[in-house]
Each structure stands twice: as C-alpha cells, then as structure tokens.
Amino acid sequence: MVTTEDLKFIVTIAENRTLAEAARALNITPPSVTLRLQHIEKKLAVKLIQRPSRIVTLTEEGQLLLNKGRLILQGLDDLQELINERKEQVCGKLRVLAPLGFGNDYIAPLLGEYKAMHPQLDVELELSDNPNWAKHHKWDIIIYIGELNDSSLKMITLAKNQRFICASPKYIERKGIPQTPNELIRHECIALRENNEDVTLWQFTDEKGQPDIIRITPTLASNEGRVIKDWAIAGLGIIMRSEWDVQPQINSGDLIRLLPTYSLPNADIVALLSSPSKERSARISGFISLLKDRITPMPWK
C-alpha cells in the first residue's frame, strides 16, 4: 500500500527536472533515489516515470499518483490544522467519571458551569463508587477518592482529604466516647462499601506513628455515603468518612470527630487522566484548571 512518505517522495521527484536534482532536494544519493523509486513502482506494479530519459517525465500513472497524492497530502495538512485549532478551542465532548456523593456535590455543578462558559462543548458525566477500571480509557477525566491501585494513569492531586471517625451527640450520649481504636470493637459501627476496599479494616496510626489496626463488625452497611452519614446523624452508629463529606456536619455539631489523636490513611481527591499534559485537548485542560481553582481551596473547610 502506498504511504504518505511515498506520496511526498513522488511530489519531490515531479518538482525537479532530474533525479540528481531530486536527490539533492532530498539530501540523499542519486542511487538511493533510483532504488526508492523502483521500490514504489514495484509496490504499485506500474512505471511512474518514462525511461530512458535524463529529464523526469511522469507516465500517465505517475501523473495520476501525483495529482491524487497532492490532494491527499493537502487534506492531511488541513486535518492537522483543524486538530491544532481544536486543541485551542473548548469544544467536542468531555467525558467525566466521578464518585457518587462528591460528583453530585461538586463535579456536576462545576460541569454545568463549564458547559455554560463553552456552548460548543458537550458533557457526559457518570457517577459511580465502583468504577470499571477495564473501561478507564473511555473517560477523559476520572475523579477518584480513596486507595488507588491503578498506576498507569496520570494523576493530578486536586485537594488533600483526611478520613475521620465520627458519631452524633445522640450516639455519644447513649454509648459513650471510645478512647482507643480497640474500643470500637464494642461499639456500633457503620460501613460504607466503595471502590472494592476492605471497608471493615480500619487502619489507625497513633501520635508516635505506630499502627493500630482493628476490624469492625458493622451493624449497618451501605454503598451510598449519604445513607451512612444520615444513619450516623440519627445516632445509629460510628462512621469513617472523608473530611470533604463530614466537615460541614462537624462544624455544625451534628457530628463529633472521635479519636482525634489518631490518624487514618488519607483519601486525597485526585484527577486521573490517560494523556500527558502536552497532548491534552483544550476542553480537558480547561476543566482541570477550573477544578484546581475551585477545589484546591477545599470549600468544605
């Protein structure tokens, strides 16, 4: 099959009076020009120039290849120019995958705002706490919170995010305040099942950096973060939740942070992308900039 390099070669041959001049234009030797020409002719099974002749004269097939080849090369140049223009324009379709709760509260409103800023843009948002990593290439941007197992994607940290142990004043009045992680075994705990994590294994670290790991037996469990938070506010048990989700309720007094001298593994909020920075379209780069601008200050503080 003829290639674009073959077409460019034929155009150079046609634009020079002799093969020797073509060799100088291509910065190769005359024998190399002859061999390359013979290779293309053999591939196409036709003669492209008249022989013998000191002056380059195209055969009818050679002229056809030249005419059509120039159109193809021009079309490719036009296509590249269009792609370059689109890289600078926020248009096309932006596909985003985000966690259910965080996506509802923060990503969906920002995508709506971004669409309003760029009318030519189409947006597709999917919310899921159990993303299908086999299909991660479908998405331009994946917003993720939690333990990350896939390292093939480019990661941009949008905001730091601690995990807290919380309960409502009603629960504390009924069951008391645990003083150590081990005491949680005797308490009523609520588990959030997400991201295929081992959600009953709560991994604490004390002030000296020593691990203190326990396994809870949840009395309630759900795959929806808002459900378990509502259960906790209602006094039904202790939850482990991200700072972004419970800080407003801690500020209002609806929830109280427990075991504040112990820390849990962070669950930073990150954006995952399959392409490096220089290859990203304007629609992707623009939304990443908006995310950094709005989320990096951590609006839930």
48 vs 216: CA distance, rounded Å: 79
> Domain range holding 138?
89-161+268-295
Report the CATH number that the domain containing residue 242 is assigned in CATH.
3.40.190.10
Q: What is the 3-state secondary structure (H, E, C) of 78-108?
A: HHHHHHHHHHHCCCEEEEEEECHHHHHHHHH
Looking at the structure, tell me whether residues 167 and 254 fall in a common domain. yes
Closest CA to 100 of 125, 131, 127: 127
Q: Which amino acid is at 234?
A: A
Single out the residue of 109, 137, 139, 113 nearest to residue 124, CA to CA: 139
Q: Are residues 168 and 50 in the same domain?
A: no
138 in the same domain as 13: no
Please state, rounded to an integer, the average pLDDT across all residues of the chain: 89
pTM of the predicted structure, to 2 decimals: 0.70
In a domain, 300, yes or no: no
The model's pLDDT over 79-126, given as tens digits with 9 standing for 90+, comes to: 876 776 666 778 888 999 999 999 999 999 999 999 999 998 899 999
- Whether 111 and 183 map to the same domain: the answer is no
Same domain, 221 and 105: no
Where is pLDDT greater, at 300 or 202? 202
Q: Is the pLDDT of residue 135 over 70?
A: no
**Domain termination site, one of 87, 102, 134:** 87
Report the alpha-carbon distance of residue 101 to residue 98 in Å, rounded: 9
Residue 90 has what pLDDT? Answer: 83
- Amino acid identity of residue 210, one-letter, is Q
For residues 167 and 237, membership in a common domain is answered with yes
Whether residue 232 is predicted with pLDDT greater than 80 in this model: the reply is: yes
Domain count, the chain: 3
Asked if residue 152 and residue 78 are part of one domain, the reply reads: no
C-alpha 165/C-alpha 229 separation (Å) is: 11
Domain stop point among 27, 59, 87: 87
- Dihedral of CA atoms 41, 44, 45, 50 in degrees, nearest 10, equals -40
Same domain? For 234 and 115 the reply is no
Residue 68 and residue 14 in one domain: yes
pLDDT higher at 77 or 231: 231
Same domain, 75 and 133: no
The three-state secondary structure class of 62 is helix
Q: Rounded to an integer, what is the distance from CA 186 to the centroid of its chain?
A: 42
At 182, which helix (H) or strand (E)?
none
* Confidence at residue 81, expressed as pLDDT on a 0 to 100 scale: 66
Q: Which of residues 87, 103, 125 is at a domain's end?
A: 87
Judge if 30 and 112 occupy the same domain. no
